[in-house]
Amino acid sequence: MSPPAHTTDHDHLARICSLFKEAERAIKEIEDIGNELIVPAVNQLRYTGNHLVRYLADPDNKSELFDAEKHCKRATYDAYEAAILYYLNLFHKFKDDYRRVTITTVLPDYPDLCLEVDKARKLIRDNNKSKTRGEFYQQCREHLEVIAGNVKKMDACRDELNKLIKKEWRQLALLVCGVIGAAGAITAIITAACS
């Protein structure tokens, strides 16, 4: 989004400063999840600095301000995108870990959580090839909050789901032992009858 035509360079710089601070907040927030997630976002802020230095060297080159603004937005987007991808991986791991369990027994709203996670995945997928994906940085934050909350909720159910798996294994083991015992009894009866 470009500033209105009547906007002064000072106003534009103030807008860039605000976006820069927002990107820094996003990076600090994501840094708590994992340092490696912030590298693309930090690179975008480096590009912001590069464009600002070019503008300072040639204040008539206003395009540098627009480029700096785009990179600030992109830095925020990249930070949130990396965190969303991180949580998507955790979601898929959860799904794989409990693929043989009826998850809704423990987590009744699991289908709704899956739909919310899918919305975040689609946002990233649909914007991944866009050159203007930085414009979607605010939506990314909203989706990140949802997906992070959903994954934490799912992880909180792991103990109960593991108990359910153990219970199902015990029932299966009893069934197998019963079948083997019955087969042994039938074999003994047939052997005794044939003797």
Residues 114 and 78 in one domain: yes
Tell me the average pLDDT across 85-113: 94
φ, ψ (nearest 5 deg) of residue 108: -60, -30
Q: 128-160 pLDDT, tens per residue? A: 666 666 667 778 888 899 999 999 999 999 999
Looking at the structure, tell me whether residues 142 and 116 fall in a common domain. yes
Q: Where are the alpha helices (DSSP H) in the chain?
A: 9-31, 39-57, 63-97, 110-127, 137-156, 158-194
Label residue 170 by pLDDT band (50, 70, 90).
confident
Tens digits of residue pLDDT in 4-48: 555 688 999 999 999 999 999 999 999 988 888 999 999 999 999
- Tokens, residue 146: 């949802």
93 and 130 assigned to the same domain = yes
Nearest to 64 by CA among 44, 43, 49: 49
Distance of CA 151 to the CA centre of its chain: 9
Whether residue 2 is contained in a domain is answered as: no
Two structure tokens written together for 38: 């912030």
Same domain membership, residue 54 and residue 129 = yes
Residues 63, 133, single domain; the answer is: yes
Number of domains observed in the structure of the chain: 2
- Better-scored residue on pLDDT, 60 or 179: 60
Run of H or E including 103: none
3-state secondary structure 121-133: HHHHHHHCCCCCH
Phi first, then psi: what are they for 3, rounded to 5°?
Answer: -70, 155
The pLDDT assigned to 40 comes to: 92
For residue 172, name the pLDDT band (cuts at 50, 70, 90).
low
The residue range of the domain holding 176 is 157-195
For residues 115 and 97, membership in a common domain is answered with yes
Residue 122 and residue 179 in one domain: no
Residue 194, pLDDT > 90, answer: no
Domain-embedded: residue 40:
yes
CA separation for the pair 80, 77 (Å, rounded):
5
Q: Is residue 4 part of a domain?
A: no
Residue 62: per-residue pLDDT: 93
Nearest to 41 by CA among 69, 86, 74, 67: 74
Assigned token pair, 172: 């299966």
